[in-house]
Structure 1
Amino acid sequence: MGNSWLRRLSPSPGSGSHKLFCFPHAGGSAISFGPLAKCMGSEYDVIAVQYPGRQDRRHEPLVDSIADLVDGLLPELREAVEDAETFSIFGHSMGSVVAFEACRRLEHEVGASARVLFASGRRAPSAAPPELRIHLLSDRELCEHLLQFGGTPAALLEDPEFRELILSIVRNDYRAIETYECGTDAMVSSPIVAMVGDRDPDASFAEVEVWGSHTSGSFFAKSFPGGHFFIDSNCRPIAQLISDHCARALSS
């Protein structure tokens, strides 16, 4: 797309297509939403956020706070939103919180509201952080955590060079999410759809239901089979869920 924060993943979005901005998980990159983009169809223009310090932005310094991530991406996101007829936002894990804060900023500063905010695999913003701080784990413990969660090939963690790179990014992102604070009164006007894997060790269905207290609009929650990265094995039903809720919001 000719800018540093946003990557268009849809190969050929149709004219007037609904923009879907996607925010990756801790340690993740824009390309993680490639399979979802393929499932969405030409009526959706899927655009993913690329955080600094990874892939084609690997030479840029990492950003270790949610507020600073939103500050960095907001100018380009604002421009993209202003050019869009309609848009929705999807975040997975840490990305759900970045997406929520970006939604709040767009509403307050631009007067632009996402038709739907999709929050995936993450406890509500106001949830108390777990006692275990992942970003303070040793390298060995952090590797064990990543293997337990899935989403990181074991072969990459066995390679010293890749392991060092992966751990530095993941530790940075966990620092960002584990130092994030949000009050119970933080709200968006966009409807929120929350989703979670039924075997996710990091978020239960009851915990994601609390997302409903952070919107003045409608709320819906659904669980899918799988662990923390349930979106990888449920691409088509998640794409259908997104399509159904966007269509409902666009017709209202």
Structure 2
Amino acid sequence: MGVDPASRWFRFLNRCHDPRFRLVCFPHAGGSASFFRTWGPFIPQDVELIAVRYPGREDRLLEPVVDTMAQLVEPLARDCSRLLDKPLAFFGHSMGASVAYEVALRIERDKERGPQQLFVSGRSGPGSVVKGRRLADAPDAELIADLQSLGGTQASVLEDPELRALALPAVRADYRLIERYEASRSTVSAPIVAYFGEADADVGRDGVDAWASVTCSSFARRSFPGGHFYLADHVRELIDDVLARLAPVTGSGAVTPGVLPNTSLR
């Protein structure tokens, strides 16, 4: 088993010949694989770091965007299932958290096993009330204002007319995907750890705790200072936390993590 390194769905940010485990990262709405490029320096050499490449952006810019969860999940689950020859974990931020969850469910259904850990970030769990307006078909100015308020898109991209014209179709498709999305509400076997920014106006603790209902294993949460894109300012601390939680799951040796205020609800 093994995934084709030329898979159009994956960018290998830390490639290993014989990885101890693999961490697959799913970007946010409007995001791309390069969002996780800053993680590389903090990842051990024997851990394979893989970022998901959504269509319609970066090196898949000429491909049609997709605007339904099913269109993303089916091919992603197929390629992710080829990674199961090594211990596997998923990390998803915002929309990526929901994509990671749905891909994990599909792999378990098809292969009877899935990732050993699911990390979700900046996203309320299935069944919770999601705040926010419907912006997929809003005027450009309104959509851009929302992106700027979240802080996840570089200002230079939004200010340059040509770059903005290239970026907005993918953003609209992702927003439409989320606005149409109805969560499966089924349970995954993997433990779930939920991260969120303490100042995130759209993701509160009750919404975060809703993730506990979709795992038949353990659930924990951790908050960081900051808003929806808290992780941009806390890369090292977040990765230390992820690696420390993966150590007992993968049977790997101890890592040198930061402080781990782990609130377990199960």
Q: Is the 8 A contact 1:121 1:228 kept in 2?
A: yes
Partner Cα distance (2:27, 2:246) in 1: 20
Q: Which runs of 4+ in 1 moved over 3 A?
A: 128-131
Amino acid at match of 1:209: D
Tell me the equivalent position of 1:127.
128
Q: Deviations along 1:77-132, whole A, 9 cap, x unmatched?
A: 22223xx3211110000000000000001111012221110001101122234362
More helix by share: 1
Contact 1:212-1:219 within 8 A present in 2 as well? yes
Cα distance between partner residues in 2 of 1:166 and 1:34:
19
What corresponds to 1:166 in structure 2? 167
**Residue among 1, 5, 12 paired with 1:8:** 12
The answer to whether the aligner puts 1:47 opposite 2:54 as a matched pair is: no
Q: Which runs of 5+ in 2 are unaligned?
A: 253-266
CA distance in 2, matches of 1:167, 1:206: 31
- In structure 2, the residue corresponding to 1:88 is in which secondary structure? strand
Aligned letter for 2:9? Answer: W
Counterpart amino acid of 1:248? P
Identity %: 40
CA distance in 1, matches of 2:23, 2:41: 13
Structure 2 match to 1:143: 144
CA distance in 2, matches of 1:180, 1:197: 23
Deviations 1:60-91 (A, max 9, x none): 0001011110112222222223xx32111100
Structure 2 counterparts to residues 1-252 of structure 1, below 5 A: 1-10=5-14, 12-13=15-16, 15-81=18-84, 84-130=85-131, 132-183=133-184, 185-251=185-251
Q: Tell me how far apart the structure 2 counterparts of residues 35 and 155 of structure 1 sit (CA, whole Å).
A: 18
Question: Residue 232 and residue 181 in structure 1: after superposition, are their counterparts in 2 closer, same or farther (change >3 A)?
Answer: same
How far did residue 32 of structure 1 move? Answer: 0.8
Any conservation in 2 of the 1:205–1:223 contact (CA below 8 Å)?
no
Note the aligned Cα RMSD (angstroms).
1.6
**Aligned-pair distance for 1:172?**
0.7
Match of 2:256 in 1: none
Greater shift after overlay, 214-223 or 150-159? 150-159
8 Å CA contact 1:196–1:203 kept in 2: the answer is yes
Alpha-carbon separation, structure 1, partners of 2:141 and 2:170: 15
Cα pair 1:90 1:119 within 8 Å, conserved: yes
How far 1:216 moved relative to its partner? 0.2
Q: Where does structure 1 lack aligned partners over 5 or more consecutive residues? A: none
- 2: CA distance between counterparts of 1:105 and 1:133? 27
TM-score normalised to the size of structure 2?
0.89
Count of residue correspondences: 248
The change in CA–CA distance for 1:239 and 1:137 in structure 2 (over 3 A counts) is same
